[in-house]
């Protein structure tokens, strides 16, 4: 399963709030975080890693950690509001946010900072 899609889910911080975030990693993947308490995280079984497009201004896994798959409602496919932004959401994972290690054992090269 690829993880370059956006999910519509309940916020782990506020169950009354629904959020749409880009799925960065799936269970078993090793991810380099951006401000989470641990620099590297292996996403636990039954969880995934989500991030907003505006790092530092987004409440996402870098704030609250891996998210339970049970909170997912749907896969986001289109922007419908406002009408001038109607479009299909492109399934693209930012090149610098790919998991370092996938479930299938493939290793991604990490760029030097």
79-89 pLDDT, tens digit each? 888 999 998 88
Contacts of 76 by beta carbon, 8 Å cutoff, 6+ apart: 5, 6, 7, 8, 20, 89
Q: What distance, in Å, lies between the first and last C-alpha atoms of the chain?
A: 29
| CATH entry, 6-97, from 3.50.50.60, 1.20.1630.10, 3.10.180.10, 2.10.109.10 | 2.10.109.10
pLDDT tens sequence across 33-77: 998 999 999 999 999 999 987 777 788 999 999 999 998 888 888
Contact 76, 8 (CB under 8 A): yes
Structure tokens at 111: 């760029």
Contact 90, 83 (CB under 8 A): no
**pLDDT score for 105:** 54
The span from the CA of 39 to the CA of 108, in Å, is 16
In this prediction the pTM is 0.76
């Amino acid at each position: 399963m690829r993880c370059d899609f956006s999910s519509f889910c309940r916020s782990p911080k506020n169950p009354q709030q629904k959020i749409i975030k880009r799925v960065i990693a799936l269970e078993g993947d090793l991810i380099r975080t951006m401000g989470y308490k641990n620099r590297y995280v292996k996403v636990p079984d039954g969880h995934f890693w989500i991030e907003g497009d505006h790092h530092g201004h987004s409440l996402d896994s870098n704030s609250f950690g891996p998210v339970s798959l049970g909170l997912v409602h749907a896969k986001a496919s289109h922007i419908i509001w406002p009408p001038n932004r109607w479009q299909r959401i492109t399934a693209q994972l930012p090149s610098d946010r790919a998991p370092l290690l996938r479930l299938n054992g493939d290793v991604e090269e990490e760029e030097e900072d």
